[in-house]
Amino acid sequence: MTIVTPLLALALLTLPIDQEHGAAPEPLQCTAGPIQRSFGGTEWLTYGCTDRQTLIVVSAPGNPAMPFVFILSTTDGGVRISGEGNGDQEATAPAFEDLKKVSREVLDQMIREAETRP
């Protein structure tokens, strides 16, 4: 079961990024990290992406939210968050509430920290 988290993270390595019309989307590499963090009282692994604006948050082994992933990215207005998976909602909901409080500055800091562990 511990292999699920890395496989889920690797599946996210080809997220398309927004570009101008006519240009083919380039795959987004999200391999910097992981940094272990606690959100909502459970453990999560964070991975920084090459666009330096996106952070992937994957349920760590043993987390009842497994398998679940959140994607945080910077926007003009702050931070956008989305998530998906089949993990226990009692574990994902508190993590989501914590992640909604992440400011753009904190997101930038987490991305930079993940880059220190390529």
56: pLDDT strictly greater than 80 = yes
Quick check: 101 and 115 in contact, CB under 8 A?
no
How confident is the model over 61-95, as pLDDT tens digits?
Answer: 999 999 999 999 998 889 999 999 998 999 999 99
Per-residue DSSP letter, 53: S
Give the residue among 16, 66, 29 at the shortest CA–CA distance from 45. Answer: 66
Total Cβ atoms within 10 A of residue 112: 12
Residue whose C-alpha is closest to residue 45's, from 12, 75, 14: 12
Helical segments of 1-118, H only: 4-11, 89-100, 104-115
Per-residue pLDDT at 33 exceeds 80: yes
- Does the pTM surpass 0.85? The reply is no
pLDDT band for 118, please (50, 70, 90 cuts). Answer: low
How confident is residue 21, by pLDDT bands cut at 50, 70 and 90?
A: low
